[in-house]
Structure 1
Amino acid sequence: MKIRSILSKVMPGCRCWLIVFLMSGSFLWASGQPVLRFADVLTDNMVIQQNKPFTVWGKAGRYEPVKIEADWLKTTLVVQANDQGDFVGIIPVPRVQPGDFSEHTLQISSGTAAPVVLRHILIGEVWFCGGQSNMQSPVGDILDGKTEVAKADYRNIRLFNAALNFSNTPLDYVKGQWVVCTPQTVERFSAVAYFFARQLHTTLNVPVGVIFSGIGASAAQAYVPREVLAADPLLDSAYLQPYLTSEKSREVIDGGFSFEKVTRPFLLYNAMIHPFVRLSIRGFCWYQGESNRNERGGYTHLMHTLIRSWRTDFAQGELPFYFVQVAPFFWDQENPQLADYAFFREAQANILKLDNTGMVLTMDVGEAKDLHPKNKKPVGIRLALTALHRTYNQLSVMYQGPQMKTVTFDKSTALVTYLPETVAGGLRTKDGSAPKFFSLAGADGMFYPAEAVIVGSQVKVRSAKVKRPVALRYAFTNYAVTNLENGNGLPAVPFRTDSWREQK
């Protein structure tokens, strides 16, 4: 054969028993089987996003035609692989009716290769969840985790857990597979993502697929593409250049974890976000921030950049991005007046200035001395309530806690009025006591704890130490675990009326 004679010249003395042969334009492995496979994120048991074009991609022989067949389509799509064997095809996906949990198949075939079939596919809603440890925390480790695991038998919820990896260059592959939600598969899966999916599934009555791709201790810059960081002078100088000029950037990158490694720019984007960008999804959920807690406006800008870059890369329009504000925590400093973490939460709240974003609160379910509070169920449910109202147009679903509209000062009293749509069912406290964590300041800028009382849908606040208040803050300290909520049990939003600079 010509191939053997060529190789014998290139590799003298080689017996060539494991030669890769070319046949009909396809690469043949030593086993004699042609190359043909779906992309890693396309597996049995997956959920395909309804009512959107769906991209099918993978590997075939060089220049080979690839047939793509779905059992919901009457026609076959034929595409051609390129010179690297990569193929991409786009097929339509119908809208499903509530209660339709029909399983489907998707098949690819090419040349002499045996057809490859994905089975037990559902059509429904798909969401991508990312972040650090509070998003990663599994169902088995949370409050009432054993009970929740035991009843997590939802055959029409599907889960994808991406394996940790890092890369200097964007990857198209990722380790993981779609699995049916059962007590066995959910135990080590993200609790926030699971409860989010469960609430959507039980409310919409359609299949729901949820992906978790993230890692504990990770910083936001790790999830932003290198070229995006380089194009932004602020982000380039703050994150990219310090890394590229360090010894760390010259290390061989592998998949091993370290607390430092998960803060390096762009490595997690390349390995854990980029492999999914062709997948059709409904939107994103994000719970991260603890690793960037010493940042302020820079973090807001970083997150705006992350969101825009993900939307660009997924190329499905202005996808919704719903995120969780970090929970109260004392950071080993037992001083109830410290507010540096509150200023970071304010920087998170400023992410909302970007269109089609939403923020979920954790002020009432945090634990002052636990960075990883165990009560994760309300967090996932609140993300789902936000999606139901904002994305699925279920306007009767309440998703916001009491949000300050105005504060007026009359002599020694401050009166807080809330946006009417956020106090449906009225104001109350979850423990029946007076509202906590209001503080007042006079012209000297010194804040003092204040007494608060609910009056209808307003709150009156006063402090014996502040005769002429000019500023009011609510839950604007590091570890205030709050009790003020509306009739739907959603916590009041922290705020401050002043614009005074943070005291370092």
Structure 2
Amino acid sequence: MKNILIILLILVSGKLSAQINLPAFFSDNMILQRNAEVNFWGWGNRGSEVTITPSWSNQPIKIKASGHARFETKLKTPEAGGPYEITIVSGAYKKILKNILIGEVWLCSGQSNMQWNANNQLKEMLEELPEANHANIRLLNISNVASLTPQDDIFDSWVACTSETVRNFSAIGYFIAKQLQADLKVPIGVINSSWGGTAAEFWTPANIILEDAELLQNAKKQRPAPSKPHEPGSLWNSMIRPFAGYTIAGVFWYQGESNIVSYNGYNKLFGTMIKSWRDAWGYEFPFYYVQIAPYDYKSKPEEQRGALLREQQIKTLNVPKTGMVVVTDLVPDVANIHPTQKKEVARRLSELALIETYGKKSDDYKSPVYKSHLVQGDKIIIEFDYLKGSLKVNGAHIIDLLIANESQKFIPADYKISGNKLLVYNKAVKNPVAVRFGFSDVSMSNLFNSKGLPVSPFRTDNW
């Protein structure tokens, strides 16, 4: 009996000493980025040897866990395909990850307009559910958990896209995956890490906010609420940092409504957040985002905070490898902060990725953005970035187009369209100084490019 106990103790201790653990997102059903050297890591007994063998190459990779009990390596992935397996062995411990696909991986993040799903009674998603079974689309839905300290793992694993698993998944994320899969003909993985009502400070590492006086002052304007955290870095710690380094193609972002309380600092904050994410991953991935939609924020007439935040979002286009979609035409009700046309938002984001990341050819695929203006007599000539074709008006007259002289009093303007330029005037204004277009919280403007994308609201002044 004594000898048997000794043998059992040796066997048990051997298994314990060899046991390893993987982050929850290295799981069955996951997608890894194609044609890449993807990061792969976990934890094991310090100093123990770990052998990782992906079935697409059958070439074992041998590494040792560090003194901190962590091991990490890179797996060279092939062209899109699968299903594959990854076998991890350490001593007597063996784990096999199954049903792995190789394709394109995107991260979707932000607040409620990114998070909303079929459970929010979105008609587009409810109609989609019966047909939402896609073996080549995989979903990773990150739980809404905040933390004041940096975390190394999450509670969630990859699942195949089915009518059931997609029900509480981002509608925009799903429609993006569906379009990318149809166009690229490769498996698509989408990570949804979003939380309604949250500010960009929560998604930025806390030390960056705390060490910058301007960012910190603005962060203090975020107030506690029972439905969300309010501390800088609290969502970065638990909903981004744990999988930072999981190789992705890029990010789609829809957020900003919760930052109108500090609109004047959003460009700096947003650019800082993007840089912090890219630094954590170690490369400059594409970052495509949505300009916030028209909504009645009950701003004072002289302070249209929604319009001012949109202006800040335009400035972020100076950050390399970013792109912005405009949705001023997709809002049936400015009393609802959650526009319901998520499929078209996803289409516009997908088009940005297909053209700028994957090389699809197209002109005028971006909403025109104010570039410059020239005062010429009694007219102001407006030029736009991202506009090769002509402008067009959906209706009898451009809505919310205003002109002013030195009095700074804006009145409705007349206009002429000359190819890709807009000539703005009013016979009552002999010496015009400034033009505003759609520059209010609630403006749903009707000026488009030839592809039907709305011109982004703008002002030529800084009053």
CA positional deviation for 1:332: 3.8
Distance 1:377 1:103, change over 3 A: same
Is residue 240 of structure 2 the alignment partner of residue 273 of structure 1? yes
Q: Distance in 1 between matches of 2:410 and 2:12?
A: 77
Aligned residue in 2 for 1:253: none
* Higher mean C-alpha displacement, 138-147 vs 264-273: 138-147
**What amino acid does structure 1 have at the position aligned with 2:360?**
Q
CA positional deviation for 1:418: 3.7
Give the TM-score of the pair, scaled to structure 2: 0.90
Judge conservation of contact 1:435–1:453 (CA < 8 Å) in 2.
Answer: no
Q: Secondary structure at the match of 1:381?
A: helix
Question: Which of 294, 299, 314 is residue 328 of structure 1 equivalent to?
Answer: 294
CA offsets per residue over residues 420-451 of structure 1, 9 Å max, x none? x5243x3223x443221211111100112224
Judge conservation of contact 2:124–2:342 (CA < 8 Å) in 1.
Answer: no
Aligned residue in 2 for 1:23: 13
**What amino acid does structure 2 have at the position aligned with 1:172?**
D
Q: How many pairs are equivalent?
A: 453
Mapping of 1:288-307 within 5 angstroms? 288-307=255-274
Distance 1:404 1:348, change over 3 A: closer
Question: Which of 455, 458, 463 is residue 492 of structure 1 equivalent to?
Answer: 455
Distance 1:401 1:299, change over 3 A: closer
**What amino acid does structure 2 have at the position aligned with 1:428?**
K
Aligned residue in 2 for 1:116: 95
Q: Distance in 2 between matches of 1:397 and 1:217?
A: 35
Aligned residue in 1 for 2:314: 349
Structure 1: segments with no counterpart, 5+ residues: 1-18, 29-33, 249-256
CA offsets per residue over residues 272-321 of structure 1, 9 Å max, x none? 11111120111111111111112234221111211111111111x11111
Aligned residue in 1 for 2:177: 197
Is residue 165 of structure 2 the alignment partner of residue 176 of structure 1? no
Q: Distance in 1 between matches of 2:57 and 2:115?
A: 37
CA offsets per residue over residues 117-141 of structure 1, 9 Å max, x none? 1111111111111111111011453
Q: Distance in 2 between matches of 1:88 and 1:46?
A: 18
Aligned residue in 1 for 2:413: 450
Q: Distance in 1 between matches of 2:230 and 2:254?
A: 15
Aligned residue in 2 for 1:3: none
Mapping of 1:320-469 within 5 angstroms? 320-332=286-298, 339-366=304-331, 367-396=333-362, 398-419=364-385, 422-424=387-389, 426-429=390-393, 431-463=394-426, 466-469=429-432
Q: Distance in 1 between matches of 2:198 and 2:11?
A: 44
Q: Distance in 2 between matches of 1:490 and 1:324?
A: 13
Q: Secondary structure at the match of 2:41?
A: strand
Judge conservation of contact 1:130–1:285 (CA < 8 Å) in 2.
Answer: yes
CA offsets per residue over residues 364-387 of structure 1, 9 Å max, x none? 113311111111112111111111
Is residue 180 of structure 2 the alignment partner of residue 215 of structure 1? no
Structure 2: segments with no counterpart, 5+ residues: 1-8
Q: Secondary structure at the match of 1:167?
A: coil
Judge conservation of contact 1:451–1:461 (CA < 8 Å) in 2.
Answer: yes
* Higher mean C-alpha displacement, 149-158 vs 197-206: 149-158
Give the TM-score of the pair, scaled to structure 1: 0.83
**What amino acid does structure 2 have at the position aligned with 1:61?**
N
CA positional deviation for 1:495: 1.6
Q: Secondary structure at the match of 2:194?
A: coil
CA positional deviation for 1:77: 0.4
Aligned residue in 1 for 2:275: 308
* Same amino acid, percent of matched pairs: 34
Mapping of 1:258-269 within 5 angstroms? 258-259=226-227, 261-269=228-236
Mapping of 1:69-218 within 5 angstroms? 69-96=53-80, 101-113=81-93, 115-139=94-118, 141-218=121-198
Is residue 52 of structure 2 the alignment partner of residue 52 of structure 1? no
Q: Secondary structure at the match of 2:62?
A: strand
Q: Secondary structure at the match of 1:269?
A: helix
Q: Distance in 2 between matches of 1:143 and 1:487?
A: 29
CA positional deviation for 1:167: 1.5
Q: Distance in 1 between matches of 2:10 and 2:128?
A: 51
* Higher mean C-alpha displacement, 488-497 vs 78-87: 78-87
CA positional deviation for 1:66: 1.0
